[in-house]
Amino acid sequence: MPDTLKLAFVGCGFVSRFHLEGIERGAPRTRVTAVVDPDPAAAAELAAATGARVFSNLDDALASGDFDAVDIMTPPGLHESMTLSCFAANKHVLLEKPMALTLDACDRILAGANATDRVFMVAENAQYWPDVLAARDLIREGAIGDPVTADASFRLRPNSEWFRGGSPWRLDSAQAGGGITIDGGSHWIRPLRMWLGEIEEVIGITGHPWRDMGGESLSRALFRFKSGKIASFECLMLDTWHGPGPWWRVTGTDGELLVAFDRQGGVMRVDKAHPNGKMIDGEWNHALGYAGEMADFENAVLDGSPLAAGPEQSLGELRAALALYRSVESRGWEKV
């Protein structure tokens, strides 16, 4: 096997900066050798940081670029065609979530992946957040007894650089496939699935308090898991001031875990021995999630290591979001 992973960045928007930081932090054997974007300024900025060759479109890059794998960070509506083109060119693929906007498109992508021997991974950096992993380990160890229920809360003030400068497609529901639920909400759904298992059905409601976003900027839902457990889920994107609080609360028969305190992160354990709560020691920088993500892809390609979560795993977040959208229309529980 080669000792260096030559990678092409396809899409040089805001998220590409986090992927590059992830490589610098956690994937020392990966080198970005090509950058692809129709915006010459965006491509030039990344090329200057990496020494990569610039391409304005994927076809030209696949025809003459020097790389073994692609990291696709484009609007989701482009994922299917781009991913299938890369499989046809015998490239390994790291694809930003969601895999695609419809389950049929995801099925076609997975069929294309299964027809090759290339690594296919869907990027969900919450899978690697240090506090999410610490909570998973504590739950497995029985630190709070048997988990009973959980709450997930995603509240964010819009960042103009993220939504308009780096990723304006997020404001377009046709390109994004919806609003905050299908986009940022996936980062709050994945940990719930890691801790409580697979979601069976959803009931929810959405709203549009932030008018700049074409899709919903508010969603609230209940998830019923196959285990019978229940979790609440909320997303809010609004240009107002949000108070501090945990992103998740997991309640068990012997205590609670409060997970991720806004952008500082961290895990607090509350139980008989610590009725006022005890912070767990650890490094809680959420940027480390990208380091883990890029390291996972690098190790899978270069060493043949199994992925922490295969691409099919990402369908759980997409199915939950789509079920929530159907629930808004039916005003009832919808199967995931």
Instruction: Say what the pLDDT of residue 20 is.
Output: 97
End-to-end CA distance of the chain: 40
What distances in angstroms separate CA 75 from CA 121, 192, 239, one per listed residue?
Answer: 17, 25, 23
The pair of structure tokens assigned to 302 is 């270069």
Instruction: Say what the pLDDT of residue 242 is.
Output: 86
pTM of the model: 0.95
In this structure, are residues 156 and 170 in contact, taking their beta carbons and an 8 Å threshold? no
- Reply yes or no on whether the pLDDT at 195 is more than 80: yes
Instruction: Say what the pLDDT of residue 125 is.
Output: 96
What average pLDDT does this structure show over 173-198?
95
Burial of 6 (0-12, 13-18, 19+ CB in 10 A): middle
Q: Taking the C-alpha atoms of 97, 100, 103 and 105 in order, what is their torsion angle to the nearest 10 degrees?
A: -150
DSSP codes, 212-271 = T-SS-SEEEEEEEETTS-EEEEEEEE-SS-----EEEEEEETTEEEEEEEGGG--EEEEE
Instruction: Say how far apart CA 198 and CA 101 lie, in whole Å.
Output: 20
Instruction: Say what the pLDDT of residue 262 is.
Output: 67
- Output helix, strand, coil percentages for the chain, rounded to the nearest 5: 40, 25, 30
In this structure, are residues 93 and 113 in contact, taking their beta carbons and an 8 Å threshold? yes
3-class SS at 120?
Answer: strand
User: Residue 164 CB: number of other CB atoms within 10 A?
Assistant: 14
The pair of structure tokens assigned to 327 is 């629930």
- Reply yes or no on whether the pLDDT at 256 is more than 70: yes
Q: Which CATH superfamily is domain 5-123 in?
A: NAD(P)-binding Rossmann-like Domain (3.40.50.720)
What distances in angstroms separate CA 237 from CA 153, 207, 212, one per listed residue?
Answer: 11, 10, 10
User: Residue 61 CB: number of other CB atoms within 10 A?
Assistant: 24
Please, where in the chain does CATH 3.30.360.10 lie?
127-288+318-335
Instruction: Say what the pLDDT of residue 169 is.
Output: 85
- Reply yes or no on whether the pLDDT at 161 is more than 60: no
Taking only Cα atoms into account, the Rg of the chain, rounded to an integer number of angstroms, comes to 20
Instruction: Say what the pLDDT of residue 117 is.
Output: 97
- Reply yes or no on whether the pLDDT at 75 is more than 80: yes
- Reply yes or no on whether the pLDDT at 160 is more than 60: no
- Reply yes or no on whether the pLDDT at 164 is more than 70: no
pLDDT category, 286, cuts 50, 70, 90? confident
For the chain, give the mean pLDDT: 95
- Reply yes or no on whether the pLDDT at 96 is more than 70: yes
Least confident residue range of 111-120, 136-145, 276-285, 320-329:
276-285
The pair of structure tokens assigned to 29 is 């054997």
* Omega cis (within 30) before 98: yes
Q: Which CATH superfamily is domain 127-288+318-335 in?
A: Dihydrodipicolinate Reductase; domain 2 (3.30.360.10)
Instruction: Say how far apart CA 203 and CA 191 lie, in whole Å.
Output: 19
What average pLDDT does this structure show over 140-149?
97
pLDDT category, 304, cuts 50, 70, 90? very high
Please, where in the chain does CATH 3.40.50.720 lie?
5-123
Instruction: Say how far apart CA 112 and CA 84 lie, in whole Å.
Output: 6
